[in-house]
Every structure is written in structure tokens, then in C-alpha cells.
Amino acid sequence: MSRILKDRRLYSLLTANIFSSIGSGITMITIPWLLVNREGGEQLFGYAALSMTLLLFFASPYIGTLIDRFPRKQMLLFSEIFGFTVIATLAFWGFFSGHFETWQLISIYAAGSLYYSLHYPTQFAFTQEIFEKSQYQSLNSVMEIQNQTASMVAGGLASLLIDKINLSYLLMLDAATYIIGYFLILSIPYIQHQSGAAREKSTVWNNMKEGFLYLKDKPLFTLFFICSLMPFIGVMVGNYLFPVYISKILQADASVMGLSDMVYAIGAVLAGFTLPILINKLGSYRAVAITVAVFTIGTLITAWIPVVSLFLFLKIALGWGNAGARVARNTILMETVPNHLIGRVNSFFNAVGMGLRVCLIGLFSQTIVYTGASVSLSIMGIVLAFALFGVLSSRSLFTVQKADLIPATSKPTAL
């Protein structure tokens, strides 16, 4: 850990992420709340979330191949330019018109979703490329702490600013963070490990096929990574369900919306600190199983006992479970998948995740008006329970060769 903390590239990357995450985080908390509280908003927001998930489902394989084809630093810089251009344009539009139409709110939500879908897979491949393999576990822990600290700040600010500050000013703040992020990423030294010429020889379809061929003979590997991704799917689906749950089931105001994101981030920050210890003592596989179990139990209790104070406490557990699973999972993924394939392999799992989100959000957007958010959360909890069973079924992938514990950075022996 001490070695990576001396690397100046890490600080430029972390600072860029902090600014971008806080600005976009406030916006992505505010927009769903404003949509849900308009007439027919819970279904409207559901359709918007479903449409974006469908779009990203089809776009994800292309994003993965672009990440593997073009220099990762250029892709990161492009994502910052994209975020600034769209958000700044809509901010000035709303500022001069004096209000935001529903389609404008949906456009802001869509832009934020596209930014996340491009920026974070690229960042994942970029960090794998520029840092050494021995640094991956520490790197993922530090990045998780940073991401969730930014989310905690965004949640706290959102709880104070929603319904009090004109949305145009929030969007201007968001746009400014993209510019800061751009120049910080620009300052990071970067040497492309694979020549651009080599990348350009393959077509998008060939690149997608190569990623699929890498996975097709590894069914247990694929099962493990899909199932361990489910807490993140739960978080994404929760981004639709929780605004409805807070507004309609808990009958709470916007401050609870912001606070819930803040306490969730507290749990995730705790995961960043505690997961390296848990991984070193129990191994990556057991760490994933424990964190997926915690997230599953937290989701079911939230669905069954709708109390504000309990909900906020459980959000800490949900934050710890999702972030912990992601730290352990990402470390294993970085160590097992070659860098020249990481974009395509990661995009495959993202596409599967998008497909699951399409099914779940499509179901919930149609039924939530009749059944309520608690029933939807219960269904999500049952899906998570099946995912936990899948993780447990993948145990043989991590069978050790010796009686002594193998360090958490060891590869699954089945690979």
C-alpha cells in the first residue's frame, strides 16, 4: 500500500475522480428525485431508466472494443469533454429559460448514464495498464475509498441543496468538475502498451468475438463474475427503486434521499479500508461470498421493514457489501484477464448486467404503481439470493493447491 501511495499518477487520477464524482453525483441524485415527484413520475423515471439501460446494453460491447482499440488516456479525456459539453449546454439552456422541461431532465439523466458507462470501464482498463500487477489490490481499495468518499460528499451536499438551489447552478458546478478532471488526466504520463496500428487491424466485430472466445471455455469463471456482479446490479436497480421507496413508502422528504446516498458511501468507504484485511485473512473468494451475502440480507430487510432510521442504517450495510464485492472481484479480474482483452471481457459482463437491469427495471416500471417499491425490492432480494448461490457454486474455481493459505492476489487455479 505504501508503495502505491507514493505514485504521483495515483493522486492526479484520484483528484480528477473526486471532482467529477462529486459534481455528477449531486446531479444524478437530484434528477431522479425531481422526476419521481412530478405527476406520474415513478413510471416516467422507470421508462427513462429502462430506455437508457437498453441503449447501454447494445452499446456496451462497442464501448469495450473502443477501449481496447484506442489509447485509454484519450478515451478518458473524451469522456470528460462529452460530460462537459452536454451538461454545460443544458445548464445554460435551463438558466436562460428559467425552468426545465421533463425531456431536459431525462436528457441530463441520459448524459450522466452515458458518461458513467464510458468513463469507468475506461478508467478500469487504464489503471490496469499503467500500474503493476502487485499493486492491483491496494489500487482497487484506494480507488474504492476515493469513489465512495466523493459519493458521500455528493450525498451530503445533495441533501442540503435539493429543492433549495436552482438546478442550473448545480449543473454548472457539475460541468466545471469535468474541465478540472480533463486537465488532471491530461497531466498523467502515459505510454500506450499496444501500438495503435495493431489495434486498428481488428474490426469491432472481431474484437467482440475475441472477447467471447476467451470466455466460452471458462463457464465457472463466467458464472462467478456474473453472480458477483449482482450487488452492483442491485445498486443500479436501486437507483430507480429507492427514490420511489423513500417518497411513497417511507413518506420522507428530499433530505432522506441525500442522506441515504451519504450513509451508503460511508459503508463503501469502510469496505475500502476493511476489505484488504478480510481478503488477506480469508482470501478473495470468501470475501466476495461474505459481501454478496451482506448485500442480499440488507436488501431483503429494507423491503420488509420500511422504517427511515433502519433504512439509513441498512444503507451502510449495502454500501459495504457492494463496494467490498467490487474490490475483491475487480482484483481477481485484473489478475486473470490480459490487458489487451480487459475492455472486451469487462464489456461482456457489463452487457450481461445491462440485460439483467433491462429485465428488472422493465418489470418494476410496469408493476411498481400497483405493488409498491417494497415488493420490487423483495424480488430484487430473491434474485440476489440466487446470485449468492452461484457464487457459492463457484468455490472449486478457487481451490488451493496447498494447505496453507494462498495470498489473495493468487489466480483461480481453474484458469
Per-domain boundaries in the chain: 4-188+202-396
How far apart (Å, rounded) are the C-alpha atoms in residues 173 and 88?
9
Triad 226, 229, 233: Cα angle to 5°: 115
- Give me the half-sphere count of Cα atoms (radius 13 Å) on the Cβ side of residue 250: 25
Instruction: For 392, list phi and psi in degrees, rounded to 5.
Output: -65, -30
At 131, phi and psi to the nearest 5? -105, 160
Place of cell 468475438: 209
pLDDT confidence of residue 211: 67
Q: 162: part of which helix (H) or strand (E)?
A: none
CA distance 20 to 94: 21
> ∠ CA(274), CA(130), CA(269), 5° rounding?
20
| Separation of alpha carbons 28 and 18, rounded Å | 15
What CATH number is given for 4-188+202-396 in this structure?
1.20.1250.20
DSSP label at 363?
Answer: H
Give the model's pLDDT for residue 61.
73
Instruction: Scan for cell 429543492, then name that residue.
Output: 163
d(CA 123, CA 133): 16
Total Cβ atoms within 10 A of residue 379: 18
Q: Which residues have CB under 8 Å from 264's CB, separation 6+? A: 151, 155, 315, 316, 318, 319
> CB of 317 within 8 A of CB of 290?
no
Using a 10 angstrom Cβ sphere, with 0-12 exposed, 13-18 middle and 19 or more buried, the burial of residue 404 is exposed
Cell of 101: 422541461
- Minimal CA–CA distance to 371: which of 262, 237, 249? 249
CA atoms within 13 A on the CB side of 201: 4
d(CA 161, CA 374): 27
Handedness of CA 401, 387, 234, 312 (dihedral sign): negative
What is the rounded distance in angstroms from the CA atom of residue 178 to the CA atom of residue 312? Answer: 30
DSSP characters over 57-126: HHHHHHHHHHHHHS-HHHHHHHHHHHHHHHHHHHHHHHHHHSS--HHHHHHHHHHHHHHHHHHHHHHHHH
What string of DSSP letters covers 297-328?
HHHHHHHH---HHHHHHHHHHHHHHHHHHHHH
* pLDDT for res 197: 40
Tens-digit pLDDT string for the chain (415 aa): 556 667 778 888 888 888 877 878 888 878 888 888 887 777 788 888 888 888 887 787 778 778 878 888 999 999 999 999 999 999 998 888 878 888 888 899 898 888 888 888 888 888 888 888 777 777 777 877 777 677 777 767 777 777 677 888 888 988 998 999 999 999 888 876 554 444 445 555 565 566 677 788 888 888 999 999 999 999 989 988 998 899 889 998 878 887 888 888 888 888 888 888 898 898 888 999 999 999 999 999 999 999 999 999 999 999 999 988 988 888 888 888 887 777 778 777 877 887 888 889 889 888 888 888 999 999 999 999 999 999 999 888 877 433 333 333 434 433 3
Q: Residue 276, CB half-sphere, CA atoms under 13 Å: how many?
A: 15
Rounded to two decimals, what is the model's pTM?
0.69
pLDDT value at position 206?
A: 63
CA distances 403 to 176, 288, 394, 398, 406, Å, are: 54, 21, 19, 13, 9
Closest CA to 207 of 342, 55, 53, 355: 342
CB count within 10 Å of CB 84 equals 22
Q: Determine the Cα–Cα distance for residues 362 and 366; give it in Å rounded to an integer.
A: 7
